[in-house]
Structure 1
């Protein structure tokens, strides 16, 4: 039930933004009664957190797959998968950044954004077996994500060039 609700909420916020959807819109998107929605997410903030957690898990599965944390994946492959996410799921940018932009003083949302970005960059470095700082990988992935709506495939090519310049282009399997 929670996956269904979280997925519906994620879709509603991703397509309508965080301010526009009414509680009734969110209920309809979740496909449950208002009572059930409030049982699992008793406030709009809780609905946003539920949607972002769902998004985070889907993103990790899309970018890194269902394989174990010790599986190898080059940084270029990670960038290809991020680009595929942008093509198919998030052509308008990062939902986490959008949430913080709508509530810039919400420390919990900002912390969720930071945690998401840190986990993604650390996992990318670990999977690549690369000798590159997670903060550098974060900048490369964020650059790709933010530039996607303007540059599309050219943003992917630039991100790969930056990864190569940083010495992590293929991140040889150790």
Structure 2
């Protein structure tokens, strides 16, 4: 039940933003009664957090595959998968950044954003077996996701070029 609700909430926030949907809209998106919605997410803030946690897991699975496997994945493949996510799921940019922008003083949302970005960067470095630092990779992936809405595949080409240059540069 939680996955169904979280999925519906994620879709609603991704398509309509964080301010626009009413609680009734969110209930409809989740496909449950208002009572059930409040049982799993007792406030609008809790609904946003539930949606973002769901988004985080879906993103990790899309970009890195099965989280229980520690298989190697080249950096270009990781960047291709990020671009695939952007094409299919986030053509307007990062939902985590949008959430923080909608409530800049919400420390919990900021922590979710920071955790999401850190886990993505750490997993990308670990899977790629690269000598790039986590910070370097975060900048490359963030550049790709932020530039996507403006330049699409050109952002992917640039991210791959920057990753290649960074791997060749002395530390």
TM-score if structure 1 supplies the norm length?
A: 0.95
* Contact 1:69–1:127 (Cα < 8 Å) also in 2: no
Quote the Cα distance in structure 2 between the aligned partners of 1:74 and 1:10: 29
Q: Where in structure 1 do 4 or more consecutive aligned residues deviate above 3 Å?
A: none
The structural deviation recorded for 1:115 is: 0.3
Q: 5+ residue gaps in structure 2?
A: none
Quote the Cα distance in structure 2 between the aligned partners of 1:69 and 1:92: 30
Task: After superposition, give the CA deviation of every residue in 1:33-90 in whole Å (9 maximum; x if it has no partner).
Answer: 0000000000000000000000000000000011644210011100000000000010
What SS does the aligned partner of 2:28 have? Answer: helix
Quote the Cα distance in structure 1 between the aligned partners of 2:40 and 2:70: 34
Pick closer, same or farther for the CA change 1:47–1:67 going to 2, 3 Å.
closer
Residue 50 of structure 1 corresponds to 50
Pick closer, same or farther for the CA change 1:67–1:47 going to 2, 3 Å.
closer
What aligned pairs does 1:1-174 form with structure 2 within 5 A after superposition?
1-66=1-66, 68-167=68-167
What SS does the aligned partner of 2:167 have? Answer: coil
What SS does the aligned partner of 1:167 have? Answer: helix
Task: After superposition, give the CA deviation of every residue in 1:68-114 in whole Å (9 maximum; x if it has no partner).
Answer: 44210011100000000000010000000000000000011001000
Quote the Cα distance in structure 2 between the aligned partners of 1:69 and 1:133: 22
TM-score if structure 2 supplies the norm length?
A: 0.97
Quote the Cα distance in structure 2 between the aligned partners of 1:32 and 1:97: 27
Quote the Cα distance in structure 1 between the aligned partners of 2:122 and 2:20: 34
Equivalent pairs, count: 168
Task: After superposition, give the CA deviation of every residue in 1:153-172 in whole Å (9 maximum; x if it has no partner).
Answer: 0000000000000117xxxx
